[in-house]
Amino acid sequence: MSMMMDSINSVLNWVVPPASLVMLALSWPTLTFINTCEKIYYSFFVEDIANKVVVVTGASSGIGEQIAYEYAKRGANLVLVARRDQRLRGISENARRLGAPNVLRMAADVVKEEDCRRFINETISTFGRVDHLVNTTSLGHTFYFEEANDASVFPMLMDINFWGNVYPTYVALPYLRQSHGRIVVNAAVENWLPLPRMSLYSAAKAALVNFYETLRYELNGEVGITIATHGWIGTEMTHGKFMLEEGAEMQWKEEREVQASGSPVEEFAKLIVSAAVRGSANVKFPSWYDVFLLYKAFAPDVLTWTFRLLLSPQGKRTTSFIGTGSRPLLEAPSPPYRQTVVAHISPRIQLVE
* Cα–Cα dist 194/206, whole Å: 10
CB 143 within 8 A of CB 198: no
> Distance (Å, rounded) from C-alpha 218 to C-alpha 300?
32
Q: Are 185 and 135 in contact (CB under 8 A)?
A: yes
Q: Shortest CA distance to 54 belongs to which of 63, 67, 37? A: 67
> Is residue 13 within a helix (H) or strand (E), and if so which, with residue range?
helix 2-43
Q: What is the distance between the alpha carbons of residues 83 and 108, in angstroms, rounded to a whole number?
A: 5
**CA nearest neighbour of 184 among 87, 281, 263, 266:** 281
Q: Residues 295-325, buried b or exposed e (16+ Cβ, 10 A)?
A: eeeeeeeeeeeeeeeeeeeeeeeeeeeeeee
3-state secondary structure 14-73: HHHHHHHHHHHHHHHHHHHHHHHHHHHHHHCCCCCCCCCEEEEECCCCHHHHHHHHHHHH
Taking the C-alpha atoms of residue 119 and residue 247, their distance in angstroms, rounded to an integer, is: 29
User: What's 263's DSSP letter?
Assistant: B
What radius of gyration, in Å, describes the C-alpha atoms of the chain?
A: 22
Residue 334's SS3 state is coil
Question: How many Cβ atoms sit within 10 Å of the Cβ of residue 287?
Answer: 11
SS (H, E, C) 176-188: HHHHCCEEEEECC
Residues acting as catalytic residues: 201
